[in-house]
Structure 1
Amino acid sequence: MGGRGTAIGFEDFQGTRNFAALDGLRAISVFLVFSDHFGGIAWTRFSGWLGVHAFFVLSGFLITTLLLRERDTTGRVSLKAFYIRRGTRLLPLYLLVLAAAMGLSYHAQNGTWEQMKAAAPYYLTLLNELADMAPLHMTWTLGVEWKYYLIWPALLVVFGATLRSGLATVGFCVTALVMIGIGGFQWNLLLPQNYIGMLMGSALAILMHSRRTFWLARGLMGHGAALAIVLLLFVWHRRFPVIAGRIDAPLAIAGYCLLITLLLPALIACRTWAARALSAKWLVFIGHRSYAMYLVQYMAAHAVIAVLPGTTIVGGLLLSLSFAAALLVSDLLYRGFEKPITDWGHRWARAVKQPVAPRAEGSRRPLA
């Protein structure tokens, strides 16, 4: 399925440091989320909320790939440096937006201030998924990701020294989630379907990091494979309520995450039509700002409604104006706040790493 003309080699993958098409996928995913929240009935039927699970798959794949490459380069993984990078990447912007939401709610003189006061203890401890409905309720996804960041890297460092043990660690985690789901012990703090996508992304990263198993992903790096998966994803979005009704919603979400996982190799292979399409500069531009857009989406929508008083803004008009407003604000935040702090965090992470002599070139090899 890969095709000699589209599939990249193992060395090409290991030498690639920037996967532009994955930023494009972020852009599509954040638009899908906006469509579900602001697009009205016509867009809601497309189940754009599934876009958050695409973010989960991407997170699992990217952080695991970075951890594995760090171990190959330096001989170890610095969890301290990892948490510094993640913390400075996610928390400052989140806390800034949280402070803005608190201030706006206080001055609004309506029920949102009471909602924010009740939710604040959860928002400040990254237990967002336990908060009742309030402004920034969509940050439940940040709570999920942060818990994965706290646990998965440590498990990978302790138990994932080889290809077999790494996959076994993923398998153990998946089994634990399945048992939780079957046993009916789900609660808001741990819904198995919210973590399965990140585990799938991590499993793909482990498979692609080994020369022995890279061929499995290489078989998906073709035009035909990409087209088939994209069509299935379209059907999954359009018919999700029907699919969920037949196989249960958690399994339907897991199926969606699997399709996103299977699509990633075609996006990493820069020669496929899907990779070229999602590597478009305008999509990459949006993808880089997608985190800020996700955080400010409701404030952007309320600003649009406030600027056009007396006008009924629904459906596609509210969606397009809210998306544009969020992109404008997010660009300012990205340039003036998010990226400078993220860059500083990367410098800090490099500084705290204990000096470890790099492995000799001949001994640098992927997880095997």
Structure 2
Amino acid sequence: MAGGRDLQLDALRALAVTLVLYSHFFAPDGTSFLGHLGVRLFFVLSGFLITRLLLEARDADQFTPGMALRSFYARRALRIFPPYFAVLAFVWLTDLEQARSSLVWHALYLSNFWYAHRNDWTPWLLCHFWSLSIEEQFYVAWPLIVLLAPRRRIEAITIGVIAFSLAYRFYWPIAANPALARDLLPPASMDALGCGALLAVRRARGADVPRWMRLGWPALAAVFLLVVWSDPGPANSAWEWPRWALVQVLPLVPMMAIVAAFSDGLGGQLGRLAELPPLLFLGRISYGVYLYHPILLAYAVKAQPWIPLNVSEEGPGRFLIASAATVVAASLSWVFFEKPLNGFKRYFPYVARSRAPGDVRRFGAKYPGAKAALDLQPTDRSYP
């Protein structure tokens, strides 16, 4: 599984996390939507990679649902929990932004419900955890569907999930309530996760993104930019709700088409750019970058008297200093903390090895299921 195509997906992760950093550290008026795009791109990638892993496990001859589920949850825990709970422990010890009172919600991966219930982004230090909670809620439910539902029904279920998420948006204009819940509750993100999953399901049956998506996504991206840069008008104007819905929905097809193209492997100059080592490394450590960046920003602001650039306000100084500090912290975390723990994933294969690796390679043509089992063993790179 780990090949050129997955290397280029690391480049997409790098792009997504850079958009988030830009939004939180720089973002002049009118461009803060880029952080939202970065998170949505993470969701499409997660839906695609997780579903692809699960379908490949299911299609192996040695597949058993129980083993695949146990291994999936164990591997997710090894990848996600250690740095996540390290951040929570650090926040508890330091009580940054008086965040201790909400830590139970974050520890249970209910950050999105915490902020939706309060309708407020306090504490800001952990507000980005809402998307990690969405991811974890997806990880709990989706493998049960992919591994246990009738194989022929999975595509229809995926389309149903996307349709339900899109329909969910019609409730909010009726309720006339612009609360945070409209963006933070799970149905608001199931369309992006579902689009990634749909791409994986179609690939598994030998199909690809429809022709109209491949040809039409630039036009949809252009319309999206026009909508974003349009005047939202006064509160409760006739344009406010359609504009919000279009900003959420229009990027889905372009993102699905882009993930499909990068997973195939781009050629030419763009492909070489997508495989530049610094870009790939940033994609590899993107989880740590996403986790740590508000904490590094908080300490950069505290250290403003000793920093010659302005980090107290959004702008180039904050972007340069806080981004550099975040990348350094995430790099150290990856090398000395996350990567060694990821090595334990080898003890949790999705399917049993029926033969030694040498035998599988020698008799791959005769034992295709064994070859599939071997291909599933490398460390998956599916976060987020």
TM-score band w.r.t. shorter chain: 0.7 to 0.9
**Structure 2 Cα separation of the partners of residues 93 and 215 of structure 1:** 35
**Structure 2 Cα separation of the partners of residues 33 and 154 of structure 1:** 31
Query: Aligned-pair distance for 1:190?
Result: 2.8
Shifted more, 333-342 versus 180-189: the winner is: 180-189
Q: CA RMSD, aligned part only?
A: 3.3
Question: Where does 1:23-38 land on structure 2 (aligned, <5 Å)?
Answer: 23-38=10-25
- Judged with a 3 Å threshold, the aligned counterparts in structure 2 of structure 1 residues 25 and 267 are, in CA distance, closer, same or farther, namely same
- Judged with a 3 Å threshold, the aligned counterparts in structure 2 of structure 1 residues 236 and 102 are, in CA distance, closer, same or farther, namely farther
Alignment partner, residue 6 of structure 1: none
Give deviations 1:250-285, integer Å, cap 9, x for gaps: 442222122111111221232434433222211101
**Structure 1 Cα separation of the partners of residues 43 and 213 of structure 2:** 23
Give deviations 1:128-179, integer Å, cap 9, x for gaps: 11224212111111110011111111111222413xx221111222233344
Question: Where does 1:8-27 land on structure 2 (aligned, <5 Å)?
Answer: 16=3, 19-27=6-14
Match of 1:153 among 129, 139, 143: 143
Q: Give the conservation status (yes or no) of the 8 Å contact 1:47–1:238.
A: no
- The AA in structure 2 aligned to 1:167 is E
Shifted more, 242-251 versus 309-318: the winner is: 242-251
TM-score w.r.t. length of structure 1: 0.80
Structure 2: tracts of 5 or more residues without a match: 116-121, 176-180, 233-238, 373-384
**Structure 2 Cα separation of the partners of residues 95 and 207 of structure 1:** 35
Q: Give the conservation status (yes or no) of the 8 Å contact 1:160–1:167.
A: no
Query: Aligned-pair distance for 1:194?
Result: 1.4
Alignment partner, residue 266 of structure 1: 261
Match of 2:284 among 282, 288, 292: 288
**Structure 1 Cα separation of the partners of residues 352 and 369 of structure 2:** 20
Q: Give the conservation status (yes or no) of the 8 Å contact 1:45–1:238.
A: no
Query: Aligned-pair distance for 1:236?
Result: 3.5
Query: SS of 1:75's equivalent?
Result: coil
- Judged with a 3 Å threshold, the aligned counterparts in structure 2 of structure 1 residues 218 and 177 are, in CA distance, closer, same or farther, namely closer
Q: Does 1:194 align with 2:184?
A: no
Question: Where does 1:1-368 land on structure 2 (aligned, <5 Å)?
Answer: 16=3, 19-42=6-29, 44-45=31-32, 47-73=34-60, 74-77=62-65, 78-105=68-95, 112-113=97-98, 116-132=99-115, 133-134=122-123, 135-162=125-152, 165-184=153-172, 190-211=185-206, 213-214=207-208, 216=210, 220=214, 229=217, 233=221, 236=224, 239-240=227-228, 242=230, 245=240, 247-273=242-268, 274-309=270-305, 312-313=310-311, 314=313, 315-344=315-344, 346-350=345-349, 361=367
Q: Percent identity?
A: 24
**Structure 2 Cα separation of the partners of residues 29 and 43 of structure 1:** 18
TM-score w.r.t. length of structure 2: 0.76
Query: Aligned-pair distance for 1:187?
Result: 6.0
Q: Give the conservation status (yes or no) of the 8 Å contact 1:131–1:137.
A: no
- Judged with a 3 Å threshold, the aligned counterparts in structure 2 of structure 1 residues 125 and 258 are, in CA distance, closer, same or farther, namely same
Query: Aligned-pair distance for 1:124?
Result: 1.2
Query: SS of 1:47's equivalent?
Result: helix
Query: Aligned-pair distance for 1:35?
Result: 1.0
Give deviations 1:69-111, integer Å, cap 9, x for gaps: 1222333441110011111111111000111122222xx6xxx
- Judged with a 3 Å threshold, the aligned counterparts in structure 2 of structure 1 residues 363 and 36 are, in CA distance, closer, same or farther, namely closer
**Structure 1 Cα separation of the partners of residues 150 and 250 of structure 2:** 25
What number of residue pairs does the alignment pair up?
A: 335
Give deviations 1:193-238, integer Å, cap 9, x for gaps: 3121110000000111222x24848994xxxx6xx85686477457
- The AA in structure 2 aligned to 1:349 is F
Structure 1: tracts of 5 or more residues without a match: 1-13
Query: Aligned-pair distance for 1:332?
Result: 0.3
Query: Aligned-pair distance for 1:38?
Result: 1.2
Q: Give the conservation status (yes or no) of the 8 Å contact 1:50–1:237.
A: no
- Judged with a 3 Å threshold, the aligned counterparts in structure 2 of structure 1 residues 15 and 328 are, in CA distance, closer, same or farther, namely closer
Query: Aligned-pair distance for 1:304?
Result: 2.4
Query: SS of 2:265's equivalent?
Result: coil
Shifted more, 180-189 versus 18-27: the winner is: 180-189
Alignment partner, residue 7 of structure 1: none
**Structure 2 Cα separation of the partners of residues 229 and 215 of structure 1:** 11
**Structure 1 Cα separation of the partners of residues 130 and 197 of structure 2:** 21
Q: Give the conservation status (yes or no) of the 8 Å contact 2:30–2:229.
A: no
**Structure 1 Cα separation of the partners of residues 226 and 285 of structure 2:** 26
